[in-house]
Chain A
Amino acid sequence: MKRVVITGQGTINALGHDVASTIAAMAAGKCAIDNMEFPNVDRLSIQIGGQVKGFEPKDHFERQQLGLYDRFTQFAVIAAREAITQSGLVFDGELSQMSGVVLGTAGGGLQTQDENYRTVYEDGKNRVHPFVVPRLMNNAAVSHVSMANNLKGPSFTVSTACASSNHAMGQAFNLVRSGVAPVMVTGGSESMLCFGGIKAWEGLRVMSADGCRPFCATRNGMVQGEGGAIFVFEEYEHARARGAEILAEVSGFAMSSDAGDIVMPSVGGARRAIAQALSDAKLNPEDVGYVNAHGTATAANDKTETAAIKDVFGDHASDLMVSSTKSMHGHLIGGTGAVEMLACIAALKDGMIAPTVGFQQADPDCDLDVVPNVARDKKIGAAISNAFAFGGLNAVIALRSV
């Protein structure tokens, strides 16, 4: 099996419009959750989110592109540009034929659906723009990233709710590891911050109206975010041969299904995914210095995740730094694992351990070192990133420094 390394990363999210500003914001413990701005937000009981602000699509795209790009596609294309530019790769010839794109998203072109349902139902119009279908389809982002970068190999979208990006990156990892593709562009994006998107989540009564406080005794639910992050996964020898800067190594990946409940998480499913990811990466529990938690700040997730981590890591759990960066950028649903991967890479590369901000009071059910409120400077050798989706679908990625 081949080794897989990361040679490029890109993002746009509420914390920053590129990787450098995002990592600086995480290091500063900045919270980007704020009042959301979109039509009819006043009719929502949940009005806060990690919204990407100060972003003008027309500064990034031409008119024809804007007609075809839903916001989730815009995020993916922008993040892919940054990642591929950093990697230094140019996709032509055989490299172009073999390399592909796998991205995660849960809602796909939800903004497009929301706008056009408004047009036909609320405004009573009987005609919608001809590009509604190519804008809203869940694979639109993958297709546009492939077209923009001449990526002609295996390409598809993965949609597993909150684990979409981790599942996507796991597929990309295995495609490179097995020798199918020398390079895969992977990650995910999401844009659900619109009236219909938030209204649906409100109904589930798992959202907080006042903030995202993972692992904190006063936590009262999740807060949504939007944006995306994209990475270049490259076969190790291919990267070395061209002298590429290696950001981190993807060393293992595992998936599991709770086969239990459509919304309630289970300790067993989470535990199996974490343990198998370590085993796949040939890591011992004590090798791991940092866990980027799923940490949604719901009552159920944080307690369950804590129990699963303690089961797998045993005595080492108390030495482990575990943070949820959702406290800063919000829960990007299908894009969240990708943005959280940025924190894992920063931890491995620069020793910057991103904090769990908004932390007020310890919860005995979540007795881990959650790096409360202030980032830490500590060298680590390996990290894992957890994602546990509604529907009980779990995906854990293991990374190590190179």
Chain B
Amino acid sequence: MTQAVQDKIVEIIAEQAVLDPSEVSVDMTIEELGLDSLGLVEAVFAIEENFEINVPFNANDPAASEFDITSVKSMIDAVNDLIKAQNG
């Protein structure tokens, strides 16, 4: 399950960053990925659609959102927590 979640998130982020999933490692930051604000919002949308969760994310101040977007890993952890909390 967790590996599947990780793979899917990497795939979503890679698509937005116009990279091959093999080029995305879990310790990469948003800056290293070159994701712009629209790309980030679209990635959050794709994550919500794929995992049927609501992601607490405000584009006005992403850093202040509960959803930690520092790195690929922080997003994977956050998504796992949200799946547990929202889908039981």
Answer whether residue A129 sits at the interface, using C-beta atoms and an 8 A cutoff: yes
Question: Whole-angstrom distance between the alpha carbons of A68 and B39 in the complex?
Answer: 11
Whether A130 contacts B49 by the Cβ 8 Å rule is no
For chain A, the count of residues having a C-beta within 8 Å of the partner chain is 7
A89-132: which have CB < 8 Å to B?
Answer: 127, 129-131
* Range for the number of chain B residues in contact with chain A: under 10
Which residues of the other chain, A, contact B45 by a CB distance below 8 angstroms?
Answer: 127, 129-130
Answer whether residue B5 sits at the interface, using C-beta atoms and an 8 A cutoff: no
Per-residue interface assignment for chain B, residues 8 to 41, with 1 indicating a CB less than 8 Å from any chain A CB and 0 otherwise:
0000000000100000000000000000001001
Q: Tally inter-chain residue pairs, CB-CB below 8 A.
A: 15
Whether B48 contacts A131 by the Cβ 8 Å rule is no
Task: Give min CB distance, A267 to chain B, whole Å.
Answer: 50
Which residues of the other chain, B, contact A130 by a CB distance below 8 angstroms?
Answer: 38, 41-42, 44-45
Question: Whole-angstrom distance between the alpha carbons of A68 and B38 in the complex?
Answer: 10
Answer whether residue A67 sits at the interface, using C-beta atoms and an 8 A cutoff: yes
Question: Whole-angstrom distance between the alpha carbons of A331 and B45 in the complex?
Answer: 37
Whether A127 contacts B49 by the Cβ 8 Å rule is yes
Which residues of the other chain, A, contact B38 by a CB distance below 8 angstroms?
Answer: 68, 130-131
User: Secondary structure at chain A's binding surface: helix, strand, loop or mixed?
Assistant: loop
Which residues of the other chain, A, contact B42 by a CB distance below 8 angstroms?
Answer: 67, 129-131
Question: Whole-angstrom distance between the alpha carbons of A136 and B72 in the complex?
Answer: 31
Closest residue of chain A to B41 (Cβ to Cβ) is: A130
Closest residue of chain A to B48 (Cβ to Cβ) is: A127
Question: Whole-angstrom distance between the alpha carbons of A134 and B13 in the complex?
Answer: 21
Which residues of the other chain, A, contact B18 by a CB distance below 8 angstroms?
Answer: 64
A123-155: which have CB < 8 Å to B?
Answer: 127, 129-131
A209-239: which have CB < 8 Å to B?
Answer: none
Per-residue interface assignment for chain B, residues 43 to 73, with 1 indicating a CB less than 8 Å from any chain A CB and 0 otherwise:
0110011000000000000000000000000
Other contacts beyond A127-B45, A129-B42: 6, CB < 8 A? A64-B18, A67-B42, A130-B42, A130-B45, A131-B38, A131-B42
B contact set with A: CB distance below 8 Å:
18, 38, 41-42, 44-45, 48-49
Q: Which 6 pairs from chain A and chain B are nearest by CB?
A: A130-B41, A130-B45, A130-B42, A127-B48, A129-B45, A67-B42
